[in-house]
C-alpha cells in the first residue's frame, strides 16, 4: 500500500478515522474528505494525511475535489465511500387506528442524498480515472441494516441496500478495466456516536452479537485494508459482513 493514493469520505471520525489510520500506517498517501472541517483537519494531522472539505451530495464540489487530488498526485488508487448519516424514525406510527407520526420526506431525502447518491457522485467522478489507470479499488460502506433491515431505519436501510446493488453492478461493469468493487457491512460498532449511547442500549447490542462485544472501528478498517490490498486481487462484487455474527431481528 506504500505511496498509493487512498481517498476516504467521512474520514474525520469513527470508522473513517480508523480507516485513515490503518492506511497511513501502511505508508499510503491518505486523503480525507469530510464536511466537518475542524475535525477533519485535526484527524488528518494525526496521520500526516491531506484534508479537503467536501460535501458528497454536491456533484460539483465532488468533481472539484477529485480534480484537485489529480492535480496534486496524478492518480487515485483506492476510494473508501464511508460518508453517511442517520435520521432514524418510524415509517408510520399509529395510535388507536390514527396516524400520529411518520418519517418525514426531508429525513428520507437527506439520508438517500448523502449515503447513496453521495457514493454515486464520488464514484462516478473517480471511476474514469481508475479505468484510464487500468486498475483501482472502490470500497463502499454498506451495513447489516442494508441486508437485514432494522426497526426505525427505513431511510438508512434503503440507502445501504442501494449501495449493495450498486456495488454488484459496478463490479460487473468495471471489472474488465482492472477495477475491483466491494462493500463492507459493519455490525454494531463502537464509534464515538455509538459509545455515547446509554449503557443499557450498549449492553443490548453486545448481547445480540454472538461474539459478545461491539465491533471496534479498527475491525472495519482492517476489512477495508484487506479488500484494497493485492491479497484480495481476485475479490470483486463481494459483500463482506463484519458484524460479530449478528443477524438483526433474531
Q: Is the model's pLDDT at 250 over the cut of 70?
A: no
Is the confidence at residue 249, as pLDDT, over 80? no
Taking residues 48-67, report their average pLDDT: 97
Report the candidate in 25, 26, 8 with the shortest Cα–Cα distance to residue 17: 8
Active site residues per annotation? 156
Select from 249, 32, 7 the least CA-distant residue to 145. Answer: 249
The secondary structure of residue 216, as a DSSP letter, is P
Q: Which CATH class is domain 5-242?
A: alpha beta
Bridging pattern class, strands 92-95 and 239-242: unpaired
CA distance 187 to 127: 28
pLDDT digits (tens, 9 = 90+) for 90-140: 999 999 999 999 999 999 999 999 999 999 999 999 999 999 999 999 999
Is 177's pLDDT higher than 90? yes
Q: What rounded mean pLDDT belongs to the chain?
A: 95
pLDDT score, position 240: 98
Q: How do residues 8-25 score in pLDDT, each as one tens digit? A: 999 999 999 999 999 999
**Taking a C-beta distance cutoff of 8 angstroms, is the pair 235, 224 a contact?**
no
The model's confidence at residue 246, banded by pLDDT at 50, 70 and 90, is confident
Angle at 213 between CA 211 and CA 216, to 5 degrees: 110
Is there a contact between 248 and 186 (Cβ–Cβ < 8 Å)? no
Amino acid at each position: 500500500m506504500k505511496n498509493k493514493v487512498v481517498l476516504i469520505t467521512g474520514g474525520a471520525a469513527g470508522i473513517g478515522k480508523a480507516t485513515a489510520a490503518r492506511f497511513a500506517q501502511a505508508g499510503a498517501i491518505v486523503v480525507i474528505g469530510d464536511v466537518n472541517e475542524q475535525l477533519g483537519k485535526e484527524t488528518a494531522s494525526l496521520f500526516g494525511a491531506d484534508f479537503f472539505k467536501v460535501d458528497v451530495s454536491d456533484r460539483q464540489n465532488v468533481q472539484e475535489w477529485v480534480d484537485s487530488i489529480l492535480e496534486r498526485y496524478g492518480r487515485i488508487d483506492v476510494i473508501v465511500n464511508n460518508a453517511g448519516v442517520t435520521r432514524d424514525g418510524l415509517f408510520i406510527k399509529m395510535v388507536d387506528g390514527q396516524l400520529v407520526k411518520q418519517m418525514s420526506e426531508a429525513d428520507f431525502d437527506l439520508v438517500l442524498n448523502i449515503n447513496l447518491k453521495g457514493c454515486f457522485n464520488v464514484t462516478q467522478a473517480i471511476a474514469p480515472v481508475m479505468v484510464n489507470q487500468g486498475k483501482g479499488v472502490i470500497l463502499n460502506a454498506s451495513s447489516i441494516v442494508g441486508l437485514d433491515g432494522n426497526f426505525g431505519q427505513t431511510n438508512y436501510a434503503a440507502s445501504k441496500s442501494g449501495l449493495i446493488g450498486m456495488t454488484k453492478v459496478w463490479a460487473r461493469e468495471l471489472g474488465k478495466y482492472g477495477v475491483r468493487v466491494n462493500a463492507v457491512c459493519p455490525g454494531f460498532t463502537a464509534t464515538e456516536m455509538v459509545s455515547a449511547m446509554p449503557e443499557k442500549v450498549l449492553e443490548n447490542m453486545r448481547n445480540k452479537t454472538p461474539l459478545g462485544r461491539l465491533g471496534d472501528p479498527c475491525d472495519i478498517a482492517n476489512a477495508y485494508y484487506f479488500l484494497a490490498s493485492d491479497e484480495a486481487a481476485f475479490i470483486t462484487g463481494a459483500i463482506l459482513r463484519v458484524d460479530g455474527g449478528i443477524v438483526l431481528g433474531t
